[in-house]
Amino acid sequence: MSDGTEPGELTHFDGAGAAHMVDVANKPETARMARARARVRMAPETLAKIEAGQLGKGDVLGVARLGGIAGAKQTAAQIPLCHPVRISAVAIAFEIDHQLPGVVVEARVDAVDRTGPEMEAMMAASTAALTIYDMCKAIDRGMEVVELVLVEKRGGKSGHWSRPPTGR
């Protein structure tokens, strides 16, 4: 590998075990995409209020969408060894899940760069989920963000990867 590591090694540590930012200068700029998912579990009554738009703070999912987009854009400022990635698009989608009960957040981030937007997608999904929590905590302090996972990534040397239905 161009950064001096072997496949399967942790790339953010040098040979002496010190943390470092991976050198991506010799990698080609390519189109890349990543999708991440977060689930927010809540009381059925809270979910019903979100669905009906009955929370006094306004459109919870609309604000969470903006939070997710902002989170994606701030990833390199929050994750110490993460490169700033040239994001070309961020999309946040929500699914009401009565079985959870709660909201499933899916974030998709597209970029053209030397490294992928996996962390940006994870940050977008988590920030949107935390925004839902923040907006609803006054009526449901028992809410939980119960999952944050990378669902799929495309592009770059490693190509395409998607999470199998079993979850690993």
Is 113 an active-site residue? no
For residue range 74-90, list pLDDT tens digits in order.
999 999 999 999 999 99
**Entry pTM:** 0.86
What does residue 166 show for φ and ψ, rounded to 5 degrees? -75, -15
Residue 2 has pLDDT above 60, yes or no: no
For residue range 35-57, list pLDDT tens digits in order.
999 999 999 999 999 998 877 65
Rounded Cα distance, 87 and 89, in Å:
6
Q: Nearest to residue 42, comparing CAs of 147, 148, 143?
A: 143
What does residue 24 show for φ and ψ, rounded to 5 degrees? -110, 10
Q: What is the pLDDT of residue 5?
A: 43
Q: For the chain, give every domain's residue range.
A: 30-153
Give the homologous superfamily in CATH for domain 30-153: Molybdopterin cofactor biosynthesis C (MoaC) domain (3.30.70.640)
What does residue 149 show for φ and ψ, rounded to 5 degrees? -140, 150
Q: What is the pLDDT of residue 71?
A: 98
Find out whether 111 and 86 touch, Cβ atoms under 8 Å.
yes
Rounded Cα distance, 159 and 168, in Å:
18
Find out whether 100 and 94 touch, Cβ atoms under 8 Å.
no
In the set 3, 97, 134, 140, the catalytic residue is 134
Percent pLDDT > 90 in the chain is 72
